[in-house]
A and B are shown apart, each in its own frame.
Chain A
């Protein structure tokens, strides 16, 4: 079992890292031929950074668009971020200089209870797909599958955290063992096997799924462009030096 999971982790994290890198390269190289920031948009680069910050941290445009989706989506993502920080304790060495930031009552406590907020958010998002006619009509099986996958991961995590504790020392040994190639036993727990198995599945499908919105938001032309079409002429990268970039070329 331990070896199976060790191999599964190497493979799934490999697919995750390479797949994600290729996708980001693709996004990076995709031309944005037109100046299309959604107005009102900032007129300076610093303003764009601030807008992107609000978008990523508060989901500003979703807030303006749909309050219910926003509240559940934001609960889920905030919970995810807090739980993520708590998870660092399984992989970061207690000798690392960032350790005091992780080995901290507030961080661990917030991470543990944030999981409940995460679950409420996820159930809300699932409810939206099932209960709102308009949304049900446009929901594809993959929309449900992603939600259900993450719900099961969350519930198995909550079980370990609140109901059926596992050998955390053993788990940390297993995880750090993967990193230094000194393989250790995986502690036995049904919930841990469900949790880690589905995490591996999630990592594998991530680079091919709608979860790519995470890196994708940074590449959205409607969000990452400065509103200065008059001050500075916008020329797509591929059009530069092609003769089309002269004033009368277009």
Chain B
């Protein structure tokens, strides 16, 4: 009786952990390589604080009207550099499975609603040209 209970408990725990125990290597989020060789802030800071940068930028834009090149942490720019492209060269929405924002947020159980309003692929007049010189 006791032994059965304990075994049930252990099996239950292992099932819960699921995939993590199934492989012998740590899995990490995978997404397409971004454009350029550096982000708008040092990478390790972006990793921790990107949400603060973009929400701060939103306030700057919406309240003070700061747009375009002066808007250093514009959400549009994130997409310009970080969006992935399919075999036909069309941009894949950045919030779809395996793409930049989604893969990382799925890995860490983060849900965002920004893309209910904001576009998920680059604009025709994207600022990516200014960053990369690409047409």
Contact = CB atoms under 8 A, between A and B. Distances in A.
Contacts of A107: 109
A165 B106 CA distance: 18
A177 B21 CA distance: 10
Contact of A103 (B17, B19, B47, B109): B109
B45 to A, nearest CB: 10
A98 B109 contact: no
Contact of B106 (A103, A108, A180, A184): A103
Contacts of A103: 106, 109, 111
A117 interface: no
A92 B29 CA distance: 14
A16 B26 CA distance: 25
Nearest to B50: A165
Interface in B36-92: 44, 47-49, 51-52
Interface residues of B, number: 29
Contacts of B111: 103-105, 108
Interface string B6-20: 000000000111111
B108 A172 contact: yes
B130 interface: no
B118 interface: no
Contacts of B28: 169, 173
Contacts, number: 86
A97 interface: yes
A4 interface: no
Interface string A84-124: 00000101111111110011110110000000000000000
Contacts of A182: 24-26
Interface string B87-115: 00000000000000000101111110000
Interface string A204-232: 00000000000000000000000000000
B110 to A, nearest CB: 7
State the majority secondary structure of interface residues on B: helix
Contact of B18 (A97, A166, A177, A181): A97
Contact-residue size bin, chain A (C-beta under 8 Å from the other chain)? 20 to 34
Which of A94, A95, A104 has the most B CB atoms < 10 Å from its CB?
A: A94
B14 to A, nearest CB: 10
A28 interface: yes
B31 to A, nearest CB: 11
Interface of A: 28, 89, 91-99, 102-105, 107-108, 165-170, 172-173, 176-177, 179-182, 184
Given A91-B20, A102-B109, A167-B48, 14 more contacts: A89-B108, A92-B20, A93-B17, A94-B106, A105-B111, A165-B49, A169-B28, A169-B108, A173-B26, A173-B28, A176-B20, A179-B17, A179-B21, A180-B24
7 contacts: A94-B27, A96-B20, A102-B109, A167-B44, A169-B108, A180-B20, A180-B21
